[in-house]
Amino acid sequence: MTQPTEPLPIDSDPIETAEWRDAFLALVATEGPERARFMLQEMVRLARAQRVGWHPDLNTPYVNTVAVQDQPIFPGDLAIEERVASIVRWNALAMVVRANQAYGELGGHIASYASAADLFESGFNHFFRAREGVGEGQHRGDLVFFQPHSAPGVYARAYLEGRLSEQDLMHYRQELTAPGAGAQGLSSYPHPYLMPDFWQFPTGSMGIGPISSIYHARFMRYLTHRNLLDCSARKVWGVFGDGEMDEPESMSALTLAAREKLDNLVWVVNCNLQRLDGPVRGNGRIIDELERLFAGAGWNVVKLVWGSDWDGLFARDLTGALVRTLEGTVDGQMQTFAAKDGRFNRDNFFGQNPELAALAQGMTDEQIDRLKRGGHDLVKIHAAYAAAARHRGQPTVILAHTKKGYGMGTAGQGKMTTHSQKKLDETDLIEFRNRFNLPLSDEQATSLAFFKPAEDSPEMRYLRSHRQTLGGYLPRRETACDVVPVPDLDRYASFALQAGGKEMSTTTAFVRMLSSLLKDKALGARVVPIVADEARTFGMANLFKQVGIYSSVGQRYAPEDIGSVLSYREALDGQILEEGISEAGAIASWTAAATSYSVHGLAMLPFYIYYSMFGFQRVGDAIWAAADQRARGFLLGATSGRTTLGGEGLQHQDGTSHLVAATIPNCKAYDPAFAGEMAVIVDAGMREMLVEQQDVFYYVTLMNENYAQPDLPPEAQAGVLHGGYRFGLYRPEGDTASAPRLTLLGSGAILTEVIAAARQLAAQGIACEVLSITSWSELARNGLKAARGQSHIAQLLHGSGPVIAATDYVRAVPESVRAFVPEGRRYATLGTDGFGRSDTRAALRSFFGVDASHIVAAAREALA
């Protein structure tokens, strides 16, 4: 079958064409495919040399990549697998319809899983390896990313496996209503945060699953190459939607996967040709488009287009009319064929020309109706998965052709509206039962009874034994991992704690600390420094030489700066993940490392340092997903603040990241002003994550402004972690007794302005107190929890007089603690609302009104 996708130009000399064709066929027949490939390569070389202007088409014919003769023998019991698949389909459907009968507002999806059911089942029966444990030599499991709105199917299978009860299924999407004991609520989509023993990977936001799966696969290589954990026998499987491939995140790391030769990665793209509103590519063919895209990116592409019952049709189609017609059919039309019955397809598909009509002659309308697409044929799916699993040197994508709403009959199969269909009437339910030969009475079908075969039935025994062979059930999220000891602060951070007024930026201090931590015997190897092409910006170039940049091929060139102490060094056991200019990639990488404690049973500690503006603002949804996945690690928003990053202007100056960070429940966000504060925060974070094994991650903003770093008194440490402490009292000269008349709060780089303001006020005869606020969000959270007047911030503010707060962020950040300011104290906030722009720090701080003189003015006004 050699029909090209685009029609060939007119054949001007058919006799000559025939001669060439015969010669080529004779070559294949006598010398074999290897020689034929050589000859084609040679022709391509010649054509290029002659500037013929031709290059090979990335598309292959619209048929299965695995030829019938290359299909392995199906290693299972097809009839039983089909029965199990049908039962899972039924329970998934019943779960969604029941939930919506009870509460019409709950939503849920039937059609997506209906199209993906066989793709999932094949994986469950033959491929997805579960984790056996965390011991030496034990398989730690494949990673499986499930299409989010197919979650009902995963629950339905877990029900047969005995992992979820009927009561649980009855609480699909009712996590609050579920009583807890005896019935747990089932989350809408895979959410490790909500079902921490079940789901491993959050995929609900389209595109995040795909990119995350790539970086998880790459991180497994990193662990293997760095001799931390042998992941070579494990795979990453991801089932995603064809519509989902439109997301930029889905596509953005394809070349990375190919460049890194991630043959531990298999994507199954469920090409049901539809997304939510309508066809994915009504006027084209999504499978062809994806084939070109993935092949061009360097992936191994396996097309799984047609089921076994098409094999005979293709074999009998001696003129190639069938393939030609299929290739002339766009997806919008193919969807219509899916939505119609056998009669319609006989008339309108096979009726298109006499050759096709002849092919269909021996089939009844019913048989035509039941002609399966590849993604619904367990034998073909198995063949494709097996080809993917044994492929070496490239990641594989399986483009599986399916019908959306498969088996939902006139109620939903191939219908434009099927995505959101969650009601089926009695006739539809009976039809569905008949379609899948379910052993249900009419009464059971129409009452949506869940069905589970007897424990000793062949179906249940088959299901159990196949999972046993594959190491147990999944998805299953584990958390057991070793405690990683954290060195004492004074072993690596004395320079920051007792800075003695030395000038440096908090970024410099952080990098110096990181460099020491990397050398720690116990912790060092677990640290994963991650950058998105900004290591030099943050003064980290020394780490290139010290720990190296991870590269799966080492370094195949002599770096230009080879003699330098800062030389650019790539190595197989390099430790830094240098992700290039891809914040989406870097955060996916961070997520993989930050969840290693769970996914691999090996705690790692990632520090991803980036321009703070390109974090929560740019990849906020990915950070939200990492939070859902219960990430443990550090995000370091460097060059932070709207005025501190002087010249960079509007798109670089961050005034909001702390606002967003505050909305993520398991993110602790800090804006330390001084190196000592930062050191205490990093130490506490490491202990919380690695020793106490809490599911939290830290966001710490760092600045590039050099200023004198004071010592941090030991008694201030607790306050630093709570969010603030008393930094100093500033009194007019000679006055040693008078109580402060006002309190100034400052955080991050603006604390230095606050201190300058305090000195000016003192010089003007006004005693004032300065508090260093290290975390507005921790203060606000504490305020919400604590009894009135008892919150940390209320206690810090127990004096009298007005309170002025200034930060390098929008005013909403310091406003977040207003409710906890003691009654009777006036509270004024200064911040950097508005667009940034480029100028000197002094000019910017004056412009936004957060410099010392504006703080003084605000203080005097408040006192007046």
Question: Minimum CB separation from ligand TPP for residue 545, in Å?
Answer: 41
- Which residue, 144 or 757, has its beta carbon nearer to ligand TPP? 144
> DSSP assignment, residue 612?
G
Contact range with ligand TPP by CB under 6 A, out of 235-243, 572-580, 610-618, 661-669: 235-243
Span 360-419, contacts to ligand TPP by CB under 6 A: 404, 419
Contact range with ligand TPP by CB under 6 A, out of 270-278, 536-544, 589-597, 668-676: 270-278
Cβ neighbours of 852 (radius 10 Å) = 22
Residue 205 site contact among ligand TPP, Mg ion, none (CB < 5 to 8 Å, cut-off depends on kind): ligand TPP
Q: For ligand TPP, which residue of 89, 157, 218, 275 counts as binding (CB under 6 A)?
A: 275
- Report if residue 270 touches ligand TPP, rule: CB under 6 A: yes
- Report if residue 274 touches ligand TPP, rule: CB under 6 A: yes
Helix (H) or strand (E) holding 746: strand 742-746
Question: Minimum CB separation from Mg ion for residue 112, in Å?
Answer: 7
What are all long-range contacts of 541-545, with beta carbons under 8 Å and residues at least 24 apart?
541/566, 542/511, 542/515, 542/566, 543/511, 543/514, 543/515, 543/518, 543/576, 544/568, 544/569, 544/576, 545/569
Question: Minimum CB separation from ligand TPP for residue 789, in Å?
Answer: 43
Span 53-112, contacts to ligand TPP by CB under 6 A: 112
- Which residue, 172 or 727, has its beta carbon nearer to ligand TPP? 172
| Residue 690, φ and ψ in degrees, nearest 5 | -90, -30
Residue 23 structure tokens = 């010669």
Cβ neighbours of 481 (radius 10 Å) = 19
Residue 753 site contact among Mg ion, ligand TPP, none (CB < 5 to 8 Å, cut-off depends on kind): none
Cβ neighbours of 645 (radius 10 Å) = 26
**Cα 767 versus chain centre, distance:** 52
Span 441-470, contacts to ligand TPP by CB under 6 A: none
Rg (CA), the chain: 32
What residues contact residue 781 under an 8 Å CB cut-off, 6+ apart? none
Contact range with ligand TPP by CB under 6 A, out of 97-105, 271-279, 592-600, 785-793: 271-279
- Which residue, 241 or 814, has its beta carbon nearer to Mg ion? 241
> DSSP assignment, residue 124?
I
Q: Residue with the closest Cβ to ligand TPP?
A: 241
Residue type at position 695: D
- Report if residue 243 touches ligand TPP, rule: CB under 6 A: yes
Cis ω for the linkage preceding 152 (within 30 of 0): no
Span 239-268, contacts to Mg ion by CB under 5 A: 241-243
- Which residue, 198 or 406, has its beta carbon nearer to ligand TPP? 406
- Which residue, 186 or 360, has its beta carbon nearer to ligand TPP? 186
Cα→Cα distances 255→207, 216, 701, 763, Å: 16, 15, 32, 62
Residue 184 site contact among Mg ion, ligand TPP, none (CB < 5 to 8 Å, cut-off depends on kind): none
- Report if residue 639 touches Mg ion, rule: CB under 5 A: no
> DSSP assignment, residue 404?
T
Q: For ligand TPP, which residue of 205, 498, 582, 666 counts as binding (CB under 6 A)?
A: 205
Q: For ligand TPP, which residue of 81, 118, 244, 769 counts as binding (CB under 6 A)?
A: 244
Q: If we measure between CA atoms, which residue out of 715, 638, 702, 628 comes closest to residue 664?
A: 628
What residues contact residue 575 under an 8 Å CB cut-off, 6+ apart? 226, 518, 525, 527, 528, 529, 547, 548, 549, 550
Query: Rounded to an integer, what distance in angstroms lies between the CA atom of residue 36 and that of residue 560?
Result: 43
Contact range with ligand TPP by CB under 6 A, out of 199-207, 294-302, 474-482, 856-864: 199-207
What residues contact residue 4 under an 8 Å CB cut-off, 6+ apart? 57, 59
Q: Give me the 264-303 binding string for Mg ion, x by CB under 5 A, dash otherwise.
A: --------x-x-----------------------------
- Which residue, 109 or 303, has its beta carbon nearer to ligand TPP? 109
Q: For ligand TPP, which residue of 131, 149, 234, 235 counts as binding (CB under 6 A)?
A: 149
Interacting residues with ligand TPP (CB under 6 A)? 112, 115, 149, 204-207, 241-244, 270, 272, 274-276, 280, 404, 419
Q: Which residues of the shown chain bind Mg ion in the complex (CB under 5 A)?
A: 241-243, 272, 274
